[in-house]
Amino acid sequence: MPTTVKLLVNGEWVSSKATETAPVYNPSDGTQIAATPLCGTSDVHRAVQAATDAFPDWANTPAVDRARIMFRLVALMEARFEELAQLVTRENGKTLEDARGEIRRGIEVAEFACGAPALLMGDSLENIARGIDCDTIRQPLGVSVGITPFNFPFMVPMWTLPIALVCGNTYVLKPSERVPLSAIRIGELLTEAGLPPGVFNIVHGGKDAVNALLAHPQVETVSFVGSTPVARYIYETATRNGKRVQSAGGAKNYLIVLPDADLDSTVDAVMGSAYGCAGERCMAGSVLVCAEGAGERFLHPLGESARGFRVGPTDRNAEVDMGPVVTKTHLDRIHQHIENGLQEGADLIVDGRDVMVEETPNGFYLGATIFDQVQPQMSIVREEIFGPVLSTMHTRDLDEAIARCNASGYGNAAVLFTSSGGAARKFRHEVNAGMVGINIGVPAPMAFFPFSGWNNSFFGDLHVQGAEGISFFTRQKVTISRWMDAKRPFF
C-alpha cells in the first residue's frame, strides 16, 4: 500500500486528519508511488496558526541572518542536485534534462533571495523641507500562501518561497496533490538549512484546502500558478477576503516564423518550445504561425523532427526526447482535444496517438503531434491543451500574424523567428504579451527579472520573481522626521 505523505507543521512531520487521499503516480509506468491526503479546514488551520505564531520572531530576525539560511539552502540544493532532478522526473514524468533545468531555475531564485540585505533597502532624502527628513523602509506582511501546480513541482514553489522568507514572512505551501514529493523535499532541506519551526509549513489537498487558505483571516498574501479559470477564481476569492494576490493562469503562446529565419535553429527551437516538458508548461509554444509563405520551408523538416522524436520512460536513464504526461486522466483530456481538432477540420499531419512504448505499456504516453491548416475559431487554438500538441496556421504577412496572436486573449509569451531587425522591433513593440522572444523558443526570464504574464495569463499587479517579488512580499513605511536644533533648549 503506497505511503500517505505527511504535513509539515511547526517543524514537525505530522499526519493529516483527512480520511480521503489522492493517488500519486509514476507517469512512466503508471504505478502508484504515494497517496496525498485531501486536507480540510482543521489541517489548514494548524499550518496557518504555526506560521502566525512564528511570524513575530522571524520578522525581527535580521535580514542578513535570513539571507544566510538561504545561502545554506542553495548549498544543500547544489549538493542534492541530481537527487532532486530524479525526484521531479519520478513524480512528474519529464525527462531528466528538463528536470535538471527546473532545479537550476529554482536554485536561481534562492540565489537572488540571498541578496536580501541589499534588496530590502529603503530610500531616504534629507531636507525635503528645511530641517525635515524622509525615509522609507520595507516590512513583511505576515503569513504567505503558495498554491502550486503539477507541471513544475520544484521550480514553482521556489518562485515565491525564498523571496517571501527573506522578506520576513512565514509561509504555507499547498502543492498539487498529484506531485507532493518535491515539495516535501524542499521542506526537509529548509529544515536542514536551519529555518526555525513554523516559518515554513506544508499542507496538502484539493479545493477544500485551497478554499480554507483563501478564506483564512490570518493569511496575508496568496501566490498561485495554474489554469486561467482557477487563477481567476483564486484572484477574485482571495482579494474579496482582503488578501494581496499574484495569480498566474494558462496560456496560448504563439511562435511566428518568417521566411528569412534560420532553418535549423528555428526547427530546434520550435521543437523544444512545443514538446519540452511534454508541452505541460505555460510557456510552451502551442500555435505556430507561418507568415509570408514560411511554411514551405519549415513545415516539412519540423514534421520529420516530430516523427523522429523518441518517447519513453524517463525514470530509468533511457535515451528519450520526451516522457509521459502526468496522469491517465490528463492524457485522456489531450486525446479529446485532438479529436475535437479533427472534427473541426484541422489537418493532423503528425499523430502522436500512435506512439507505443513496449517496455512500459501502462505509462501515460503521447507522441509529438502537429495540426496544420488550423483556423482561429477552432477550439485547439482557443483553448489551452497543456500537452505535446502544436497547431499550425498560415498568414499573409507579419501584421496578420501579430493580429492573430493579439486576439488570443492570453498574454504569457510570444516569439518571432527572423533575421530582420526591423521585423523584430515591430513585433516587440506591437505584440500583446508580457514575455517576448526573438529567436528564443521559450522566453522565460531569469530570477532577477519578473515572470511577466499579461491579460488572461495573469491576475494581479505584482508578478513573481525579481524586484516585483520583493514588492509583493513587503509593504513600505514612510517616516517624516524633524528634530529641534541641538543648541536650543527643549524647555
Q: Which three cell numbers stand for residue 408?
A: 488570443
- And the C-alpha cell for 334? 489531450
Catalytic residue at 282? Answer: yes
Q: Extract the C-alpha cell encoding 274.
A: 512545443
- With beta carbons less than 8 A apart as the criterion, state whether 14 and 187 touch: no
Closest-CA residue to 398 (of 414, 377, 379, 411):
414
Residue closest to 184 by CA, chosen among 40, 3, 41: 3
C-alpha cell at 290: 507561418
The bridge status of strand 389-395 relative to strand 285-291 is parallel
The answer to whether the CB of 340 falls within 8 A of the CB of 387 is: no
- Judge whether 385 and 279 are in contact, CB under 8 Å: yes
d(CA 360, CA 27): 10
C-alpha cell at 179: 506531485
Query: 467, 457, 357: which is closest to 119 by C-alpha?
Result: 467
Residue where the block lists cell 506531485: 179
CA 319 to chain centroid: 27
Q: Which of 39, 114, 282, 405 is catalytic?
A: 282
DSSP state of 149: -
How many C-alpha atoms does 163 have within 13 Å on its Cβ side? Answer: 29
Catalytic residues: 282
